[in-house]
Amino acid sequence: MSYVAITPEIVASVAADVHNIGAQLAHQNAAAAATTTTVASAAADEVSAAIAALFSQHAQGYQVIAGQAAAFHDQFTAALTAASDTYLSAEAANTGLLGLVNAPTRLLLNRPLIGNGANGTTVNGVGTAGGAGGLLYGNGGSGGASTNPGAVGGSGGSAGFIGNGGVGGVGGPGGTGGAGGSGGTWLGNGGAGGMGGAGITGMAGGNGGAGGNGGAGGNAGTHGYAGAGGAGGSGGDGGQGLAGQQGGV
């Protein structure tokens, strides 16, 4: 099954493109009309006049059809623009209503009633934890990735009553991946653990560092599946061998 992703901005952009296409067609049709709707006769005889009249009538008929097509084009553009405006108004209304619903729980518990948790970020090389999902409905946010050597990835956010736990963040070089968030208490899957960080490259002549362990998968809700553990990081590359010394005399 395929899904269609659409936003008010995409609809507005398409409407603008359609309008520009119509404007270009109208400009070209108007430019062609001056030289095609009144074709001059090649000579003064009746045959030449009849041929010129035939081409002129054909061009005039085309201009009539082009005008009808332009009118339809304008109607189509207006419909797209109106749809974009209506969509945008509906989105704004939904956002306002959702804000009213979530305001009390955000004030008391710093957590929405309905909505997904924010994804974690990377702060000073360390991944932060994903935000918790809404108390009633919402998925936990993904944990942030760590970049410092040995740093653990951010843990995935937990869901509330219904929702899936967030995925754990990737660990820094040689570090353990973040743990997946817990699924909803009634319905939801636990988040997958984050991937362990790759091992650090070895010094000259030395072995590469071991890759980090994958993060633990999140716990499932009453109706759901536990998250899969994260994949372990790959071991680091060994260091380049030392150059041989010159033999004695």
What's the pLDDT tens digit per position in 38-92? 888 888 888 888 888 898 899 899 999 999 999 999 999 888 888 888 887 777 7
What's the pLDDT tens digit per position in 172-209? 888 888 888 888 888 888 888 888 877 666 555 555 45
Confidence of residue 142 (pLDDT cuts 50, 70, 90): very high
Q: Which three-class secondary structure string do you get for the chain?
A: CCCCCCCHHHHHHHHHHHHHHHHHHHHHHHHHHHHHCCCCCCCCCHHHHHHHHHHHHHHHHHHHHHHHHHHHHHHHHHHHHHHHHHHHHHHHHHHHHHHHHHHHHHHHHCCCCECCCCCCCEECCEECCCCCCCCCECCCCCCCCCCCCCCCCCCCCCCCCECCCCCCCCCCCCCCCCCCCCCCCCECCCCCCCCCCCCCCCCCCCCCCCCCCCCCCCCCCCECCCCCCCCCCCCCCCCCCCCCCCCCC
- CATH of 8-109, picked from 3.30.300.30, 1.10.3720.10, 1.10.287.850, 1.10.8.420, is 1.10.287.850
The pTM assigned to this predicted structure is 0.52
What is the domain partition of the chain in residue ranges?
8-109, 111-234
Confidence of residue 5 (pLDDT cuts 50, 70, 90): low
